[in-house]
Every structure is written in C-alpha cells, then in structure tokens.
Amino acid sequence: MNMPMLLPHPHQHFLKGLLRAPFRWYHFIFHSSTHLGSGIPCAQPFNSLGLHCTKWMLLSNGLKRKLCVQTTLKDHTEGLSDKEQRFVDKLYSGLIQGQRACLAEAITLVESTHSRKKELAQVLLQKVLLYHREQEQSNRGKPLAFRVGLSGPPGAGKSTFIEYFGKMLTERGHKLSVLAVDPSSCTSGGSLLGDKTRMTELSRDMNAYIRPSPTRGTLGGVTRTTNEAILLCEGAGYDIILIETVGVGQSEFAVADMVDMFVLLLPPAGGDELQGIKRGIIEMADLVAVTKSDGDLIVPARRIQAEYVSALKLLRKRSQVWKPKVIRISARSGEGISEMWDKMKDFQNLMLASGELTAKRRKQQKVWMWNLIQESVLEHFRTHPTVREQIPLLEQKVLTGALSPGLAADFLLKAFKSGDY
C-alpha cells in the first residue's frame, strides 16, 4: 500500500513512531527547505521540479531505509493512463488560462475521496505548484494573491458584505474568488450550499468566482481541502481569495492558519468586552468589523465598537507592525467598506515589507502538512481490514458498558502499533 504525504523535510521522529506494521510499504515525498517566494515548500530544482523521494519499509522491530532515489514530476505521471493524463492536462491548461469550468472541475477533483481521483488530484496540484512558483518568480518573489478569511457568528451579514465588497473589488479591476463554506448536517450529512444564492449580482460577474463547499464534518469552520482550493484559485489568476467560514463560536478559527489576513464580522448585538476576551477567535482577528451599522443600529454598533476596542487592548500583541483595528460598516448603505479595504491594503503592505507575511505563509505550510498527516494516518487506521472488523465489536462492548471508551481505543491503538492482532 502506498500512502503519499507531502513533507517539507524528513521528520525522523514522525517516521520512527508511525504505524509499525510488519507488512506495509509507505511512499513519502520529502520537500527540501527551498521555498517558493511566499513560502510554498518545494524541492531543490532540477528538471524544473525535483522531489527527494525515499521508500521506507516499516517493520515490527523498527524502521529500515530501503531505497533512496531522486525523481521528477514526470515520474509521478508515468503511472497514469493516456486518458487520465489527457484529463489532467486538460484541467491544468484550462485552469491557468482562467477558465472557470476547469477551475470548478479541479476543485471537485481535489474534494473527491475516491483513492484514484486523489492521486490524479496530487499530480494536478504538483503541476499548479510549479506554475505558481514560476509566476511568483516573475513577480519578484511577491505573493500572487491576497488571502482573506471572513468569519463571524450566524446572522452577522457575511454573505451580504461579500456581495457588496466583491462588486467593489471587481469594479476596481481585481479578480475575486469566494470559497464559501457551509456546515453539513449531523443528521443527514447534507448541506444547503445557499451562500451563492444570496450573492446574485456577484455570481453573474465574470471577474468573480463563487464556490460553495460543505464541511463534511471537518471542524474549524473550513473544509478538508480549503488549502488546495486556494492554490487552484491562485493558479487560475484570481488575485483576491475570500474564504467565508461557517458561523462560528469561540474556537472555530482554523481559517486563520490558511490566510494572510483574518477578518471577524460581528453584528451589533455581539456582547460586551468580557465576551470579546472570552472568545478565542478575537485573539486571531487582524480586523474586526461591526456590521449593519445603519438606521436604528448605529448607536448599538458604536457601543460595540468601543467595547471591542477596549477588549483588544487586553490581548497579547501578535504582530510587530500591525495593531488590530475595529471599524463599523454597512453593506446596505456601503458606509465604511471602502475604508475597510484601505485598511486591508495597509495590512498587506506592512506585513509584506516587514517579512512577517512570508514567515506566516511558511508557518501555514507546516500546519497544512500536519493536517494532511493526521488525516492520512487516521484514514489508514480506520480502513485497515483487521481494525475495521474489530471496531463494531468494541463499539458494542462500549455501548453495553462492558468496556470503557478509553480502554477500547487503547486496545486498538496498541494492537495496531505492535502488529499483533
């Protein structure tokens, strides 16, 4: 069995402790420390894109190194059939030409859970990474796009704001991509995906692309493949990426590890400054916008703005060059939105000039890597034949009270690591 993982450097502690099964082969791609401008990790370049590749055989008595080779992107496409190669080439060509249909199909491919489609998605992503690197080099190493995360509680007016804000940006010559994340039902597993229907004007704009996606149980307010979708949108030429998360509470702020700037939208009835301190999400915000500041809500909005300004003073400073701001906006009247964009540009320029933006993106690559590792290891564990057989039995024992959940989990993990079933 092959389990591909993208690692920015060999991590011996991880490899030595990983799943010591006596019969499994794993294939790891080790990226070197070279970075693509804004922090996308890549291997040392040779033949356009080099990947240091090592095969390891995991034995019950430890980890043995089997073979060390150097390979290129071409070697990873050799296993594709002619039909699959044409399919990937068609998506890639259409994507870099800015064709929205190809972008939509590419995102659908990376969202797929089918094992073969996952492999095709990785080939496509490698090609887009190479193209992304070339474009950043021609841009003197500066990021190609400004990534902005938008979050807030349900009813804060996120979709209404995005429509007005997006139309303003496209009228100024920008290409905007909106990745709208909707929660999936815990009962049926379905998702409404209704954000696009609330952005009727923006969805008809040819310089804007709106992609609603379900969380499918992923925590943190984003989807499993949000990072990949961001990369594909940038490859398609979109220079502003907005990620609208699901309605959040106190801890769902995973989007902050994916974007350059994290914007929190709050309704006028957002609570006092004590609530602001309690909410861990406030600590991650680079800009707080109090929405619906019009009509009878202007006075409450001003009060909330003052209270959150006080709350932010009590929080630890995260940047040496930027202090989080609290502003009031109205998507109905347009008040404050142009000024909000000016502050967002100031943030981008300051962070880029200080080098903090590059460092932030590099850190985000590390978070992305470990998220992929956790997902792959958990999927491998759950789909192992023997473990899959034992899970229903242990679940039944837990339900009857014969075994505690902790003992059941400990039994499976110990048996899996030792290979003794």
Q: What is the pLDDT of residues 370-398, one digit of tens each?
A: 888 888 888 888 888 878 888 888 889 89
The per-residue pLDDT for 217 is 53
The per-residue pLDDT for 11 is 43
pTM for this one?
0.75
* CA 381 – CA 386 distance, rounded (Å): 10
The per-residue pLDDT for 218 is 58
Instruction: Give 307-344 pLDDT, tens digit per residue.
Output: 888 888 888 888 999 999 999 999 989 999 999 999 99
Question: Domains in the chain, please, with CATH?
Answer: 69-138 (1.20.5.170), 142-353 (3.40.50.300), 366-417 (1.10.287.130)
Tokens at 233, concatenated: 């949108």
Other CB atoms within a 10 A radius of the CB of residue 207 amount to: 18
Question: Are 136 and 240 within 8 A, CB to CB?
Answer: no
Q: How confident is the model at residue 23 (pLDDT cuts 50, 70, 90)?
A: very low
Share the mean pLDDT of the chain: 77
Q: Is the pLDDT of residue 346 over 60?
A: yes
Helix (H, G, I), strand (E, B) or coil at 377: helix
**Least confident span in 109-123, 260-274, 367-381:** 260-274
Q: Is the pLDDT of residue 199 over 80?
A: yes
* CA 42 – CA 59 distance, rounded (Å): 29
Q: How confident is the model at residue 283 (pLDDT cuts 50, 70, 90)?
A: confident
More confident of the two residues 349 and 253: 349
Q: How confident is the model at residue 9 (pLDDT cuts 50, 70, 90)?
A: very low
Instruction: Give 28-86 pLDDT, tens digit per residue.
Output: 444 433 344 444 443 333 333 344 444 444 443 444 444 444 445 555 566 788 899 99
Can you tell me the mean pLDDT for 136-156?
88
Q: At residue 14, what are phi and psi to the nearest 5 degrees? A: -65, -45
The per-residue pLDDT for 270 is 59
Helix (H, G, I), strand (E, B) or coil at 329: coil
16 vs 29, 51, 115, 342, CA distance in Å? Answer: 16, 21, 26, 49
Helix (H, G, I), strand (E, B) or coil at 311: helix
Q: Please, which contacts does 187-193 make with residues 24 or more away whose CB atoms are closer than 8 Å?
A: 189/216, 190/214, 191/215, 191/216
Can you tell me the mean pLDDT for 202-211?
92
Contact partners, residue 71, CB within 8 Å, separation at least 6? 50, 51, 53
Top-confidence range, 33-42, 222-231, 252-261, 326-335: 326-335
User: What percent of the chain is predicted at pLDDT more than 70?
Assistant: 71
Instruction: Give 169-193 pLDDT, tens digit per residue.
Output: 999 999 999 998 876 554 555 545 5
The per-residue pLDDT for 390 is 84
**Least confident span in 192-196, 218-222, 313-317, 353-357:** 218-222
